[in-house]
Structures are given as C-alpha cells and as structure tokens.
Amino acid sequence: MPVDRATRRAWLVWSTAVVVYVAALFHRTSLGVAGLEAADRFAVGPAALGTFTVLQIGLYAVMQVPTGLLVDRFGPRRVLTAAALLMGVGQLLFALATSYPVGLAARAVLGVGDAMTWVSVLRLAAAHFPPRRFTVVMSLSAALGGAGNLLATLPLTLLLQSAGWTVAFLVAGAATAGYALVVAWRVREAPDGVPPPPPESVPLRTVAKRVSAAWREPSTRLGFWVHFTCMSTPALLGLLWGFPYLVEAQGMSRPEASAVLSLLVVVGIVAGPVSGAVMARRPEWRMPIVGCYLAAALVCWAVLLGWPGGVLPPGVLYAVFGVLAVGGPASGVAFALVRDYNPLHRVSTATGVANVGGFAAITFYALAVGVVLDLARGADAPQAYRIAFLAVVAVLVAGVWRTVVWWRRARAAVFAAERRGERVPVQLRRRRWDVLADA
C-alpha cells in the first residue's frame, strides 16, 4: 500500500507498535540474566534450562508463516493487541510458576506472543511509510527493540536481586498486558484516506503454494541464510548462554557480566540506524556488509575458543561481544532482500520464511550447548563452554557456506532478469566470479 510521505500519524502508529516489539525483546531475553535463578528455582541442569529457550524460540520459528497469514486475515492491529496480551499472561504465569512444567508452559505462551510482533510491525511500516523509508524504519525498529534487551540486562538483574523473582516478573507481565489497550486504541491499519486492505482468508492449499513460491525465490533463500548466520550468534549470547558463560567460565560478577551483555544491545542500537541509512542509500552494499560481518564473527569465535587457558581479559571480551553485536543490524538485510524481490502479495509470507532462519539456528544452539554442558560436567567451566561452543561454530560455518552459495545464485537470477529486459530493484555490477554463478 504505497504512500507518498511519512506523516505525523504514521510515526504515532509506528511508535505505538514498536513498543510491543520492545516488550517482546525484553521478555525474550529476560531468561538470559535470570538463567541462574531459573536453574535454582526449578532445580534443573543446563540441558533442561536450555529447553526453556528451545521451546520459546522454536515456537517463534514455527509461528512465523502462520503469523503472516493472521496479519493478512485480521490486520496488524488485532494481531499486535493479541501479542501484548499473550506476552503479559505468559510472564505473569512465569512469575508464579514453581514447577518446571508450568515454567515451560509460561515460556510457550510467551513464544507465541513474541512471534506475532515483528511481522506486524513490518506490515504497519510498509503501509504507513513510503518505500524509500522502509529500510530506515525497519532498522530503527530493530534498534529500538534492543532497548527491550537492554532493560533485560542490568536493570532486570538489579530488580531480581532487590525485589526477587516473583515481583520482577509480575511487574513486567502486568505492564505488557495493560499496554494491549493502548495498541487497540492508537494503532490503525492504513493511513488516513487510504482504505485498509480487505481481509484475506487463504486456503491451506494456497498457503502451501505461497510458501513454496517464496522459498523458490533465490533472494528469499538468501535472506533465510543471512538471518541464520547474522542474527543467531548475538541472540544466543543475549538470550541464554552469554550470562552463564561470563559468570561461570570467565569468573565475572553478575553486574560485570550484565555490563558486557549490555554491549550487545548498545552496539545494536547505534549500528542499526546507521546501517539502515547506508543500505537505503547504497543497496548494493548490503551483502558486502554481511560478508564483512561474517568474516569478523568467525575471527571472534576463534578468539573465544582458542584463547590460552580459556579465560579472556575483560577488554578482549568487550571487543568480541561488541563485534558480534553487529550481527543484529546486519540480519536486517534479509528483510530488505525479501521486500525487494517478492511480489507484494507474498511479502509477509516470505518475511516469515526468512525470519525462521535465525530462530531455527538459535533453537539448535540453545539445545546443543545445554546438552554438551551436561555431558562435560566433569571438566572445568572454561573448558566445558569451549567444547559446547564448538557445536555453535560448526553450524555457523555451514551457514556461511550456504549464504555464499545463495548469494551467487541470487546475483545470477538478477542478471538473468536484466537480460530478459525486466526491471530489477538494485543494479548490480557483474564480477568475474559471477560467470560461474551463471553456469
């Protein structure tokens, strides 16, 4: 639904909606600093603790395509309202849970509510802002979502220490559930004077065809792998295992560990709008930015795993976590690719498909690290985490390989479209290695 310019009403609708995304990031990452308390409260080991994140993020991944269909059918305002209610109820239940099964149920409810936020915010941005502003608004949304992550690090750590588990999560849940009323009141599906799109009820057979068509598009597949590789590493550290790693393996105090994790958020908040503006002005730089980040990320993992003795100086940890934090903004390239190369009626579905990539990786990482830590209980903490993180690096290397493969194939598809006389969203310069991609 194209508009000519961004109005004050557009910014009001977007700001109201993005608060729900901020809350989603807060709830999603809250277990990252409460993991040690959760292990004590529910009397579980690393593998069972990792199951909390596996369940929540796994449901998030599974819900991406259904969320796109829900947005098509009921509109982003209703879906965002339901998301706020579900997250609030899930966190209230988590605050009162004293048994492991109830805690799992609470995180499942949170995961379903969380899954409904991002696609809804992107749909509202596409409806209320002109196309040239979409990348900037998307990057700004992701950066502000980092504020929720920031609230889940040092402030939540201090609140947990002072007020305790129940009070901290009760306050968070009640505030989120109450905000659903604000969303229902202030969010609108379309700009003033523009009729909202009619509700779309898609038959199951059509859903399968739409998902298949989105997956066959090379740029959608590329977006999947970009999200898989870029988003998963900082999310793994922020969602669950970064805090225990810093406390148990690196010997940091809890406030010090929270400060290091806060760097994941601060860098994302700063780098997000900057990278969004750069990619909006020079879209041909999008994949080179991703390539530079992935090379730097592999170097950072080599430092974490190869440092003699396994205990790194604080300055090195700050530098490594700061570099890895850029993966969040870089993962936004996935959604720009989806928007550019899919027809409008398929954008929500393709966005969901690409969004599955990062969360599928996190689901595997969270479970694998927990299982390996359980098996390596006899080893000292630095060595145990080093062994556990080897699984992460192995999957990351495989994801980088697939990203390179689909980068070349997506470029070949663009050049083939140009030869057919079709208009392409981004003009690419043919390189020597593109000849092989056409073969």
Query: Quick one: average pLDDT of 68-80?
Result: 84
Q: Among all chains, which residue has been given the structure tokens 């148990």?
A: 248
- Asked whether the whole model's pTM tops 0.85, one would answer no
Mean pLDDT, the chain, integer:
84
pLDDT in tens, 236-266: 887 778 888 999 889 888 888 888 888 887 8
Average pLDDT over every residue of 115-119? 89
Among 100-104, 151-155, 161-165, the range scoring the smallest mean pLDDT is 151-155
Is the model's pLDDT at 280 over the cut of 90?
no
196 or 318, which is more confident: 318
Q: Spell out the domains of the chain, with CATH numbers in brackets.
A: 8-190+202-437 (1.20.1250.20)
What pLDDT is attached to residue 229?
95
- Using an 8 Å Cβ cutoff, are 353 and 362 in contact? no
pLDDT at 89 over 70: yes
Cα–Cα distance measured from residue 326 to residue 214, given in angstroms and rounded to the nearest whole number: 27
The overall longest dimension of the chain from CA atoms, in Å, is: 67
Q: What is the pLDDT of residues 407-432, one digit of tens each?
A: 989 888 888 888 887 777 777 777 77
Confidence of residue 318 (pLDDT cuts 50, 70, 90): very high
For residues 3-8, average pLDDT: 66
Q: How far apart are CA 264 and CA 317, in angstroms?
A: 11
Q: Which of 11-25, 202-216, 266-280, 413-427 has the highest mean pLDDT?
A: 11-25
Q: What percentage of the chain exceeds 70 in pLDDT?
A: 92
Assess whether pLDDT exceeds 50 at residue 1.
no
Cα→Cα distances 167→13, 150, 315, 366, Å:
31, 19, 35, 27
In this model, does residue 439 exceed pLDDT 50?
no
- Look at residue 223 in the predicted model and tell me its pLDDT: 93
Cα dihedral 380, 385, 391, 395, rounded to 10, equals: -160
Query: Taking 90 as the threshold, does the pLDDT of residue 180 lie above it?
Result: yes
Tokens of 136: 């900037």
